[in-house]
Amino acid sequence: MEASTIVLERKAAYVDHDRLFKELIQAFFKEFMEVFFPKEHAYINYSTVKFLEQEVFTDIVKGEKRRIDILAEVNLKGEDKIVLIHIEPQSYYQEEFHERMFIYCSRLYEKHRKPILPIGVFSYNNSKEVSTEFNMHFPTLIVLQFQYLQLHLIKLNWREYIRSDNPVAAALLSKMGYQEHERVQIKMEFLRMLSRMELNPAKMELIYGFFETYLKLSREEEEKMRKEIEKLPEEEADRILELPNSYREEGREEGREEGMEIGIQRGKEQMVMQMLKKRLADDLIADIAGLSVMKVREMRKRLDEG
């Protein structure tokens, strides 16, 4: 494998997909279920939702430790019955994913002895099918029929969600199926969706940050989007330009390029500090961030001294 390929894979691997999806879905759990699983949503009493600590299971055969990403305990409407909802974001294709979901479900049931609704959320850029069932048969008997729900984001048409005021749908536009030439339009529709929502600054930051992680426009694309927004009705255009984290300051103030460079540098420094806190190797951090090993070591020294 070429060195450049290794660096690209390391950079891609650094994005903590599980953490990003966990934060998004836990913050907007009701909205997530409502927009993507409306039938199941109708049965849930959301006033009872409680997120449980991550479960850690050991795969004895493979010698690996696995974590349950999202586990919510809920009551069903009109009943005292407690159900566990297990949501497993998956950022890469795995042919035996259905088997892993069954193992998780069986381990969870063994521990909690409660009904479980399992959901797999696929965020990788591959539309290859993964089975929704894990079955066991004997010639005379069906031993097991396990099923779980799937949300395969790249198979969704982003245009079907832009009329919604659902914040999770807005964030996940960035992972749905689209053509490269649609990137600008998707970002503009995302901003239009945000402008219609009444979210507190923290939730707005979460939604915007998630979207930007997966769909970041170039300067040329941002300029093209700015011209498109100017064609909108004045009231709507003003609402978009008032959004937190919009490109307004970068696109309209003098010194735009300088401000962007400062923002990029600060973002890179924050990324490096996060990796340093995780005690990653200096040479790996240097490769991912595009810095010299000496610079990384200087930053590690500042962190240790601070």
Spell out the residues 6+ positions from residue 85 whose beta carbon is closer than 8 angstroms to its own.
44, 70, 71, 72, 73, 74, 116, 117, 119
Identify the top-confidence range among 12-26, 60-74, 80-94, 231-245: 80-94
Q: What is the pLDDT of residues 175-231, one digit of tens each?
A: 999 999 999 999 999 999 999 998 888 899 899 999 999 999 999 999 999 999 999
Q: What pLDDT is attached to residue 293? A: 76
Domain boundaries, the chain: 3-155, 160-255, 271-306
For 178-233, the three-class secondary structure string (H helix, E strand, C coil) is CCHHHHHHHHHHHHHHHHHCCCCHHHHHHHHHHHHHHCCCCHHHHHHHHHHHHCCC
**8 Å CB contact between 180 and 218:** no
Tens of pLDDT, residue by residue over 84-114, are 999 999 999 999 999 999 999 999 999 999 9
Q: What is the pTM of this model?
A: 0.74
pLDDT in tens, 260-279: 455 556 666 777 787 777 67
Kindly state the greatest CA–CA separation across the chain. 77
The closest alpha carbon to 100, from 143, 64, 54, belongs to: 64
Residue 273 has what pLDDT?
80
